[in-house]
């Protein structure tokens, strides 16, 4: 069997690109250009400028990387950023529950908070009425950290004497939000609202649909997670005229 990363068509330039991607988790064409230029310059033994790198070059490197990542159940996928319309490339786990991946670097309370935060984003006040925005303010996020699980409360708390999972202090919530932004799970707007990043939308796509597109008590289908008719990706801001 061919060793991981081996093969005549997989060069040191490909290995260097993949290592750079793994270190960042998220790239765009602009951020990838200097990386590819450096990799190509080393491999070809002649200087290649970042401005000479094209999207076709990036796609070639991504395709080569994905062939090596496939046995590891990893894949580099891309999505258009809903605000900038820039294509964003991110490393995605193709098999395991995306929220369980956080267990290696986050505490159980932090993971529970993230789930509660998603409830507030996709099943909260901002996701109702004529304008739907799957986001949450910093103040509301702090309140989420100090409240019980939304769905657990709605269904009745059988363990009222037990400490509620996901309860964090305001300072801990602020630190966790910064970490989630730094690791490209969340984005923070200039107005101070937090929303899922392109990386998170790609990672959580299936989970979000299963969690929030369900039926109400009357059997009516609720579609909190909506998709663009053109690109078939999740829309997190829906405005009606």
Q: What is the CATH number of domain 12-93?
A: 3.90.1150.220
Domain spans of the chain, in order of start: 12-93, 104-239
Fold of 104-239: Arc Repressor Mutant, subunit A (1.10.10)
| Strand 135-137 to 186-188 pairing | unpaired
pLDDT the model gives residue 225: 82
Q: Going from the first residue of the chain to its last (241 residues), give the mean pLDDT of each consecutive group of 10, the final group possibly shorter.
A: 53 94 93 97 93 96 95 92 91 78 82 92 71 83 78 49 68 95 93 92 88 75 78 69 39
Do the domains spanning 12-93 and 104-239 agree at the CATH topology level?
no
pTM for this prediction: 0.78
């Amino acid at each position: 069997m061919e060793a991981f990363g081996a093969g005549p068509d997989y060069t040191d330039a490909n290995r260097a690109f993949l290592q750079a991607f793994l270190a960042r988790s998220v790239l765009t064409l602009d951020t990838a250009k200097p990386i590819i230029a450096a990799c190509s310059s080393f491999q070809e033994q002649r200087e290649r400028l970042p401005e000479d790198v094209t999207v076709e070059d990036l796609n070639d490197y991504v395709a080569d990387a994905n062939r090596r990542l496939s046995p590891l159940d990893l894949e580099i996928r891309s999505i258009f950023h809903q605000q900038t319309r820039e294509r964003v490339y991110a490393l995605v786990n193709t098999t395991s529950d995306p929220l369980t991946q956080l267990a290696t670097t986050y505490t159980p309370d932090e993971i529970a908070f993230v789930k509660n935060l998603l409830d507030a984003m996709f099943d909260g006040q901002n996701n109702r009425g004529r304008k739907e925005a799957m986001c949450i303010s910093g103040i509301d996020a702090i309140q989420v950290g100090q409240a019980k699980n939304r769905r657990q409360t709605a269904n009745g708390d059988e363990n009222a004497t037990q400490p509620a999972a996901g309860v964090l202090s305001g300072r801990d919530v602020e630190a966790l939000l910064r970490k989630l932004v730094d690791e490209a799970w969340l984005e923070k707007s200039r107005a101070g609202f937090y929303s899922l990043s392109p990386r998170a939308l790609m990672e959580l796509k299936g989970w979000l649909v299963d969690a929030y597109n369900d039926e109400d008590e009357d059997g009516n289908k609720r579609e909190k997670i909506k998709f663009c008719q053109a690109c078939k990706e999740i829309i997190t801001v829906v405005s009606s005229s």
